[in-house]
Structure 1
Amino acid sequence: MTDGFGTITWWGFSPALDLQEKDLVVSLNEMEINEKENDELKILLVGSGDLRHVLTSIARSYRYQRRKLHFYILENALELYARDMLFLALSLETPKRMGLQEKTELFLELFGNLLVRKQSCEYVEKMANEFIKMVTDEDYLAKKLPMLDLSQLKFKERDFLEGIFKFWRNPSLEIFDAEKHWDMRQRQYLGPRYDCRLNAYDWDYHMKLVNKEAEIIHKHEYKSWRNSGIAFEPREATYDIPNKTLASGVIVNQGGEKVLRRGYWGDILVSPYLAFGIQSEEKSFFKKSNNMYTKLSLHVAEYNILSLFHEIAHKEKYSPAKTEEKSKTETESPGGATVTEITEEEEISEQTASQENEEPPSNPLEQPYECLPLEDVRITFLPLSSLPDLPKKTKYKNCFHTVYFANSLVHLLTPDVATIFRDSANVILETARYMLELKDDQEVEFANKIVGLAKAAGCQDPGKFDAKSSNFIAFKYQRPSS
């Protein structure tokens, strides 16, 4: 495998979107959503690779007219569904089990790091047992994650999901030698440049990534990730345990015989920073001093994730200043903890102090898993690569109000598939802006190609757009008159 993108999309190659954002193309009021019948806003995501759009849309849903949201997720690898379950469950952890800051750090670590802390690995192993029960027992799933629907998956897919979770809970460190696989991928990709790989990373950063308006990713962050596979280090700790959620299988030719080989087959070129780390509603992160950003992509991602978790839990916009003032009032202290940590770290400290007085010591994560209530949200996993089959099913005819295609699967957009779109639906196609192996003219060619696909499927002309600076191209679908 010589390309840098790999065969599985562990993280998306564009920033997270709020799929109810009014500025996309079509106002939601134009979509004929029948409020009297409690009609759902149905959103189909094809190949997005992670939950960034789903979590962002859920977290900000309180900002809009209240309506039910139903997300349909379609991927080409079951390992992605397993990761989606992990990050959904983690996002909905209650304060009783996990503080906001701890949850944020754990999310970033498992999301983008090849190596994690021991306690992070233990969390995955514990939750793997929960997921096995959810996959094999529909009643248990309805109790623990009632918003998640696995009923559309085939039996063999659910069996395979169970096998993935059994792999996650295996405590042996030898079943996935992450560092060895990372180094092997680097050697294959760089070839004769491997011995001067730090210079190659520097070239890719300055000549490719920076030109994409992603300068908030510091060169040391990017080069460190390229070299080690570790993107986020929100606290000083030892990151030395393989992140088994980033292991997947691929068919390789070995001695003329095709065999399934488990390893790291994801991105080693673009980085996990794009999903949450280069854009934010909080513009203070993008201030410069001496023409250099004063913050890192890590800080942006940490703030964004913490904000999402706060909004999911409290249905209000996260305000660091307000949080700090509230914390000071509650503790009657004039003093100076960081705004993102003051409430949660004190809560954790109090929990720790109380635990020390108990016999035996009690770990909050030993308590049964419970999720935060997520009203009016449903998430359905569709069978792998089932998009061409959806138009054949009556229940999906004229179904989806918003459809998102990642750049890796946009070729699946055809006139037949378009029959599952609602009239005046939003159709959002990811561009190849951050696919760093492509040259500028190839990016433009790709953008023109997906515009052609969209128009052939019945979407209106999007008008003028800059193919080199657009993360996505949004279209309004207009059903052909019969």
Structure 2
Amino acid sequence: MTDQFGTITWWGFTPALDLQDTDTISALNNLKLDTDEGKDTLNILLIGAGDIRHVLQTIARSYRHKKRKLHFYIIETQCELYCRDLLFMSLFMEPPNRMGLQEKTELFLELYGNLLVRQQSMEYVQKMSNEMIKMVTDFDYLEKKLPFIDLSQLKFKERDFMEGIFKFWRNPDPKLFDVEKMWDLRLQRDLGVRYDTRDNVFDWDYHMRLTEREGDIIHAREYKNWRKYGIAYEPRDGNYDVPNRTLASGVLVKHEGERFAKRGFWGDMLVSPYITFGIQSEDKTLFKKNNNMYAKLSWHVSEFNILSLLHEIINKEKYVPPQIEEAKENKSATITEITEEEENEVDNKEKSDSTDTASQSNPAKDEYESLPLDDVKITFLPVMSVADLSRKSKYQKLFDIIYFSNR
């Protein structure tokens, strides 16, 4: 029915790219774009990317390049991917009064790469599903909430299907998606007689496949835990026991000569979600080694990269992490007199921080309004419509950059 790579690409198998960066995309150095001659819009077609990583990184770093409008056209193989794209764009554009940067970072990674999530994380998905149902069924509402998203090119049946997916996401019944059982059954089928020695299989895959392909920053413990349980990120202590319904999709299976749709987890069970944001970074200190071992994990790289993108979208400047005052560790203890006024200031700051954290933890208390995103448009094209583009005159010689997936 499917191999370990799956039938749907929930996460890409390559790191996120800034599609305006000529150092990354070397071919652009020899390409004379119309944008260099005064055209004010850069049209980018992404085919089968599987997620929205390239879009997020290109938008976040757009201030580093010549000012121009960005118009992304996205084609995927299944509507479930459009739904995830819509969810993650909504999450990235959450305003500060609803959710802070750190909370957005953790929630994104949790929903992006975990088979099981915390209850409060799935509650966010359920609440946003109601919003997104309105978006796909009412373009005026979409224009109000996410004015940079264009769903008008999708077919009616595709928008209806997306509405059905969002309704499934908001259904709290855990029996509808027993993902732990689905994961284990696929492991048994894919590994066969090797299932009883699966730890050795995971170890071989890690050393012979992953680390040989520039994935050595991914720790063996991280990778094996994901291969066993489907949980890549655990940013906070808590119970990760609620099925992540955003990773549910359907396939057509054949039984006794008849074909019928079967919902389950049909994504990647071999490569892992760490590749997209967790193996490369502008902050090279994340890759320092002690005794020939990385001091940080892929999780830390992913966290830094997502936090950086969120920061850059809002502030239009590179993210610089706060520096730990190492000198304090080398100094002996000293006695410092604290006045009553200073003590009150500390108490007030702690109360303020506590209040901020409390307000961030409940994004549903305020109505959703996205952050402004000027000069960006994201158009979702019909599923599997690559062949149709050449037959439509409006797409002739339109695209300046075309990205094809590696699968």
TM-score by length of 2: 0.91
2:328 is matched with which residue? none
Once residues 399 and 364 of structure 2 are traced to their aligned partners in structure 1, the CA distance between those partners, rounded to angstroms, is 38
In the alignment, the residues of structure 2 paired with residue 28 and residue 55 of structure 1 have an alpha-carbon distance, to the nearest angstrom, of 25
Distance in 2 between residues matched to 1:404 and 1:182, nearest whole Å? 31
In the alignment, which residue of structure 2 is the partner of 1:463?
none
Structure 1 residues 258 and 96, CA, compared in 2 at 3 Å: closer, same or farther?
Answer: same
For residue 95 of structure 1, what is the amino acid of its counterpart?
Answer: P
Which sections of structure 2, spanning at least 5 residues, go unmatched?
A: 326-341, 344-348
Partner of 1:52: 53
Q: CA deviation at 1:346?
A: 8.4
Alignment of 1:108 onto 2:109: yes
Of 365-374 and 126-135, deviating more is: 365-374
Alignment match of 1:26 (pick from 25, 28, 52) = 28
CA RMSD of superposed structures (Å)? 2.1
Matching residue of 1:378: 377
Q: What's the offset of the Cα at 1:28?
A: 9.2
**1:4 and 2:4 are equivalent in the alignment:** yes
Q: 1:373 to 1:151 in 2, by over 3 A?
A: same
**What amino acid sits opposite 1:320 in the alignment?**
P
Deviations 1:239-268, CA, capped at 9 Å, x for gaps? 000000000000001222111000000000
Partners in 2 of 1:304 and 1:155 — Cα distance? 36
User: 1:116-151: CA deviations, max 9, x gaps?
Assistant: 000000000000000000000000000000000000
Pairwise mapping of residues 425-464 of structure 1 onto structure 2 (< 5 A)? none
Cα shift at 1:321 = 3.4
The answer as to whether partners of 2:281 and 2:301 remain within 8 angstroms in 1 is yes
Partner of residue 256, structure 1: 257
Q: Is residue 20–residue 28 contact of structure 1 (8 Å, CA) maintained in 2?
A: no
Is the 2:136–2:142 Cα contact (8 Å) retained in structure 1? yes
Identity of aligned residues (%): 64
Counterpart in 1 of 2:333?
none
Contact 2:118 2:240 in 1 (8 A): yes
- Paired letter, 1:293: Y
Q: Which amino acid aligns with 1:30?
A: K
- Give 1:348 deviation, angstroms: 6.0
Q: Which has the higher contact order (CA 8 A, sep 6+)?
A: 2
1:124 and 2:125 equivalent? yes
Cα-to-partner distance string for 1:81-114 (whole Å, 9 max, x where unaligned): 0000000000000110001100000000000000
Q: Deviations over 1:3-30 (max 9, x none)?
A: 1100000000000000000122124982
Counterpart-to-counterpart distance in 1, 2:323 and 2:396: 47
Partner of 1:298: 299
1:394 alignment partner in structure 2: 393
Secondary structure of the equivalent of 2:32? Answer: helix
What secondary structure is seen at the aligned counterpart in 1 of 2:28? coil
Q: Deviations over 1:151-203 (max 9, x none)?
A: 00000000000000000000111100010110011111101100111111011
Higher helix share: 2
C-alpha separation between the residues in 2 aligned to 1:107 and 1:48?
A: 18
Alpha-carbon spacing, 1:19–1:353, altered in 2? closer, same or farther (3 Å)? closer
1:422-455 CA distance string (max 9 Å, x none)? xxxxxxxxxxxxxxxxxxxxxxxxxxxxxxxxxx
1:404 equivalent in alignment to 2:403: yes
Task: Give the residue type in structure 1 aligned to 2:16.
Answer: A
Within 2, Cα distance between the matches of 1:213 and 1:154? Answer: 40
Alignment-derived partner of residue 96 in structure 1: 97
Cα separation, 2, equivalents of 1:347 and 1:401: 48
* Secondary structure class of the residue paired with 2:35: coil
Letter in 2 for 1:14: T
The change in CA–CA distance for 1:279 and 1:142 in structure 2 (over 3 A counts) is same
Aligned residues: 384
Retained in 1: the 8 A contact 2:69–2:375? yes
